[in-house]
Structure 1
Amino acid sequence: MFIEQEYYLWKMVDYMVHVHQFQVLHVNTSHGEIWLEKKVNRKNHVLRLSHKQLNWRNELSRELETGYRQLNQNRSLFRGGKLEFHMVFVSEHPPVDEWEDTVKEYNDRKIPLHLYYMSDETKEQALEDLFKPLDIEKPEINGSLREEDMEASLPSMKHQLVKKQREQREAAASIFDYGRPRLTYVLLAVNILVFLYLEMVGSTTSIETLISYGAKYNPAIMDGEWWRILTSTFLHIGFIHLFMNMLALYYLGSAVERIYGTLRFAVIYFAAGLFGGMASFMINPSVAAGASGAIFGLFGALLFFGVQYKQLFLRTMGYNLIVIIGINIAFGVMVPQVDNGAHIGGLIGGFTASAMVHLPKHAMKKWQPAAVLLYAGAMAAMVYLGMTGAFNGEQSRMVVQEVSELNEQESYSDVIQITTQALEEPQGYEAELLFHRSYAYLQSGESAEAEEDLEQVISIAPDLAEAHYNLALLLQQDGELEKAAERASKAAELNPDNADFQQLNEELAQ
């Protein structure tokens, strides 16, 4: 009779794996123990099935505790969704003493435990109880075969199950080994070479050098230099910026290129870089450079992979990746110098680009053309919003240009009125607006207001030599020669080539 129960177990498992595609987590053919998993109705059902005769209640209790401990030790394998644990025992007879309430102590635990004891008398009802939450039909297992026939079929079923487990593991591993990180290494080399070249001809921390060699500079883009959206992804501001981005590119790029292949990786990387650059143009008025937008696009590509392979994603990288993205976005929000627009834009662009190209070995989906339209529409919208200055301070920049011309025309009252209104929402141009208003105040004879504005300008933009010079003139006029000399010295230091600055500095230094 031992063969009959063993046959029943392996036939049941064979049906679940080959007909209903259960994942084989573990197989021990010699001890007759199998672990299976499948997600059904947003619940992860984990099954531990074994062929074992348990004669006493305490033996069953020990088996339940062992199985529950094994589940918790491998808890990381079952992330995502609510977890249900099913323990199935197949044997000829149930335990001698009362055993039905042994599972009650597990009812209050975090992971529910369901017990199915399939003795010869109860196996049909127990099988029905097991398959009901798994949402599968109960199979007809032929138990009338001769014992010799059952025994003869067991090696084949065991072999097929072990083979299925190996195939499932190889299929999962092949997902992460579709391509080779060739383009990743090319991008690393190009970024490093560009950095070294800029250090030779100037400095990567010099705004002038960065603008000259293709950084994202909104006024130039407004004049038609749209290529800066792409070229800025190859420039970096200082060694630390380069090192951090290249470190991220090495790890993320290698992972994404292995999953998607080189061609898809290229589309995702550059599409994310362009999307992040355009988001930066729309939101951030400052000069910007770096591969961060494209790198955040690689985060987006991995998130898209997670949508397609939820279980595999959560088992391998899921929560860790989400935490890293959250930390980076939070860091960008808290630190003003970080171009958060490029980061979030790159993340969205990378996810959308991944939907456009999809994963390898997948049939064309209806939503892929929709993803292309979404990407193109979002890019067009960001171009429009960037040009109109709704978010990036372009309106304030135009006001700065306007009041500069009005000062040249000596329309000082208009300058004061326009700048005062614009300073309610300066959009990153507070120092420039205050400087032009201080000049208008100075020319209108309102020296106290001019001095107050210049003090604010210096606190916001301490490297603006003209502000120090004008304040030195005002302080000299008020007889505060010591303070005037300090400001004149700073102006001469910031701009040593300006003859007026040097002359005033020498005059006050005497």
Structure 2
Amino acid sequence: MHMEQQYFFWKLAYDLVSRHNFEIVHLHLQHGEVWLEKSSQGKTHIIRLLQKEFNWSNQVKADIDHINRQMEKNRRYFSGRKKEMHVIYIAQYPPVDDFTSPSTKLDFNFNIVFLSDDNKENGLDDLTRRLGLDEPLTINYKLPDAPMEYESTIEYMKQQLITYKEKQKQRMKDVFEYGKPQLTYILLMLNIIVFYFLESVGSTTSISTLIEYGAKYNPGIVKGEWWRLVSSMFLHIGVLHIAMNMLALFYLGSAVEQIYGSWRFFITYFLAGILGSGASFYFNDAVAAGASGAIFGLFGALLYFAWRYPSLFFRTMGWNLIILVGINIAFGIMVPQVDNSGHMGGLIGGFIAAQLVDLPKMSHRVYQGSALLLYATLLFSLLFSGIRSEQQVTAGEIQYLQELNEEERYEQVVSMTEEKEDIEGEWEEEWLFQRSFAYLRTGEEEQAFEDLVRAVEIDPGFAEAHYNLSLLYERRGDESNARFHKERAEELNPELQSEAPEEPASSQLNE
């Protein structure tokens, strides 16, 4: 009878792998133990087959407790949120005493099946139903008169399972070694070269330098400078910014390019970066730069990989990647300067772009067409909705004007601001103040006076505007108004008392 149980055990394992596409997680030939896994319809089925006789139910309970500890220890090894564990015992007889569920609390949904001689047929039907198989498990477990033939059949099935296991390993290796990270290294060099170039001509922390060399600047995009959606991906603000992004690009880029191949990586990277820039254009009116959107797109590509290869994903990068994405999102929420809209746009763009190009040796025309339509719709919606009236002032423009004044490029400030008339929006008083400062420096005091009067009407608490207005009143000989505005300025901002006489105050934008 031992030969019959052994044949049934290996035939069932072989049938689940070869006919029902279960993957081999663990194969122990000597102990007669096989672990299998398959994800289907949002649920992961884990099977543990064991050929062993249990005389008493407490022996079974001890074995179940051992499995539960193993499952808890290797929880992240298995894919999917919903996991169902099927423990299948193959033996000639069930335990002598009645078996009841273990008293200890189990961390997984356990389905315990005894495929003893008198329960094989019913047990297989029940297992077929629980596993949701399209075809029933039907195994002829009766031995004929030629046991030697079945010994050779058992050995054949063992060897076949070993072959399946080796093929799984090779498929895993092929998936992760499809391409070589050549473009990743090229992108790293390009970003570093651009960074050093900007440092040589100005400063990577200078708003004016960033804007002039292609940062995401909403007024420029509104005027038709669409190339900023791409060029901003190669600019970085300071050493820490580029160091963090290049480190992320090195690790994530290498992984994605090895999985997807170079041309798929290229398309995914740039489509993600462009959608990230589009999201930043719509949601964030400040000047922005960096490869973060494209890098978050690489996260999105790996999450798409998880969707197509759930078991392989959770056995390799798995929850570590998901936790890393969560940490980056949380960091972005906690740090105000981080362009979260660009990050989220890149993440979504990377996932959609990955579906558009799909993984090597995978192609689904309907999904790819849907991904193309979805991407185009999202990008068009962001750009079309993000276009504002040219008369509406943005925070990015104020940052730019402030820095131009600091660099004593007053004529450029006057030229830029005079292009817009009847300005409006939450930054109107700052706009007027920056223009008035440039007017003061170029000797156009009458225009400066008009802008400052309007600025304090809009915001009576604008200390610097009151201070500069007091200087102009003093020059006009209006001592009463000069005294009023100076006292008001010092009341609002005591530090203005230290300003040099006759020297206009400059405003610092609250970021």
Which stretch has the larger CA shift, 468-477 or 123-132? 468-477
Shift of residue 455 of structure 1?
4.9
Letter in 1 for 2:81: G
**1:279 matched to 2:279:** yes
Following superposition of structure 1 onto structure 2, how do residues 74-93 of structure 1 map, counting pairs within 5 Å? 74-93=74-93
1:44-91 deviations in whole A, cap 9, x for unaligned? 221211111223333333322222222222221224132222222222
Question: What is aligned with 2:498?
Answer: 486
What is the number of residues matched between the two proteins?
Answer: 467
Question: What is aligned with 2:198?
Answer: 198
* Equivalent-residue separation in structure 1 for 2:116 and 2:189 (angstroms): 66
Question: What is aligned with 1:65?
Answer: 65
1:402-426 deviations in whole A, cap 9, x for unaligned? xx99x99xxxxxx9xx77xx45xx1
**1:114 matched to 2:111:** yes
Letter in 2 for 1:116: V
User: Is the alpha carbon distance of 1:430 and 1:349 closer, same or farther for their aligned partners in structure 2, counting shifts above 3 Å?
Assistant: farther
* Equivalent-residue separation in structure 1 for 2:159 and 2:428 (angstroms): 73
Following superposition of structure 1 onto structure 2, how do residues 104-183 of structure 1 map, counting pairs within 5 Å? 104-105=102-103, 108-136=105-133, 137-145=136-144, 146-183=146-183
Shift of residue 273 of structure 1?
1.5
User: Is the alpha carbon distance of 1:113 and 1:356 closer, same or farther for their aligned partners in structure 2, counting shifts above 3 Å?
Assistant: closer
1:426-459 deviations in whole A, cap 9, x for unaligned? 1x5552257789999995899798399475265x
* Equivalent-residue separation in structure 2 for 1:120 and 1:485 (angstroms): 98
Q: Name the SS of the counterpart of 2:365 in structure 1.
A: coil
Shift of residue 248 of structure 1?
1.0
Q: Name the SS of the counterpart of 2:225 in structure 1.
A: coil
Question: What is aligned with 2:9?
Answer: 9
* Equivalent-residue separation in structure 1 for 2:252 and 2:313 (angstroms): 14
Q: Matched residues, percent identical?
A: 41
Shift of residue 130 of structure 1?
2.4
8 Å CA contact 2:181, 2:257 repeated in 1: yes
Following superposition of structure 1 onto structure 2, how do residues 101-500 of structure 1 map, counting pairs within 5 Å? 101=100, 103-105=101-103, 108-136=105-133, 137-145=136-144, 146-389=146-389, 395-396=392-393, 422=424, 426=426, 428=427, 431-432=430-431, 450=456, 453=459, 455-456=461-462, 458=464, 469-470=468-469, 472-473=471-472, 477-478=482-483, 486-488=498-500
8 Å CA contact 2:84, 2:110 repeated in 1: yes
8 Å CA contact 2:179, 2:259 repeated in 1: yes
User: Is the alpha carbon distance of 1:69 and 1:258 closer, same or farther for their aligned partners in structure 2, counting shifts above 3 Å?
Assistant: same
1:160-194 deviations in whole A, cap 9, x for unaligned? 11111121222123212211111111111111111
Which stretch has the larger CA shift, 205-214 or 484-493? 484-493
Question: What is aligned with 2:405?
Answer: none
Q: Name the SS of the counterpart of 1:285 in structure 2.
A: coil
8 Å CA contact 1:49, 1:89 repeated in 2: yes
* Equivalent-residue separation in structure 1 for 2:453 and 2:307 (angstroms): 63
8 Å CA contact 1:49, 1:87 repeated in 2: yes
Letter in 1 for 2:462: Q
* Equivalent-residue separation in structure 2 for 1:181 and 1:489 (angstroms): 61
Letter in 2 for 1:370: S
CA RMSD of aligned residues (A): 3.6
User: Is the alpha carbon distance of 1:31 and 1:473 closer, same or farther for their aligned partners in structure 2, counting shifts above 3 Å?
Assistant: same
1:116-149 deviations in whole A, cap 9, x for unaligned? 2222223222232322201231313141323222
8 Å CA contact 1:471, 1:487 repeated in 2: no
* Equivalent-residue separation in structure 2 for 1:467 and 1:308 (angstroms): 63
* Equivalent-residue separation in structure 2 for 1:360 and 1:170 (angstroms): 15
For structure 1, which runs of at least 5 residues remain unmatched after alignment?
409-414, 459-465, 496-510
* Equivalent-residue separation in structure 2 for 1:33 and 1:303 (angstroms): 33
8 Å CA contact 1:17, 1:24 repeated in 2: yes
Letter in 1 for 2:119: T
Question: What is aligned with 1:505?
Answer: none
Letter in 2 for 1:130: L
* Equivalent-residue separation in structure 2 for 1:131 and 1:491 (angstroms): 87
Question: What is aligned with 1:26?
Answer: 26
* Equivalent-residue separation in structure 2 for 1:52 and 1:86 (angstroms): 16
Shift of residue 33 of structure 1?
0.8
* Equivalent-residue separation in structure 2 for 1:448 and 1:365 (angstroms): 60
Q: Name the SS of the counterpart of 1:100 in structure 2.
A: coil
* Equivalent-residue separation in structure 2 for 1:40 and 1:285 (angstroms): 44
* Equivalent-residue separation in structure 1 for 2:9 and 2:451 (angstroms): 98
User: Is the alpha carbon distance of 1:338 and 1:472 closer, same or farther for their aligned partners in structure 2, counting shifts above 3 Å?
Assistant: farther
User: Is the alpha carbon distance of 1:343 and 1:161 closer, same or farther for their aligned partners in structure 2, counting shifts above 3 Å?
Assistant: same
Shift of residue 287 of structure 1?
1.9
1:178-225 deviations in whole A, cap 9, x for unaligned? 111111111111111111121122211112222222222223333332
Shift of residue 26 of structure 1?
0.7
User: Is the alpha carbon distance of 1:468 and 1:228 closer, same or farther for their aligned partners in structure 2, counting shifts above 3 Å?
Assistant: farther
Q: Give the TM-score of the pair, scaled to structure 1.
A: 0.81
Letter in 2 for 1:486: S
Q: Name the SS of the counterpart of 1:80 in structure 2.
A: coil
User: Is the alpha carbon distance of 1:334 and 1:140 closer, same or farther for their aligned partners in structure 2, counting shifts above 3 Å?
Assistant: closer
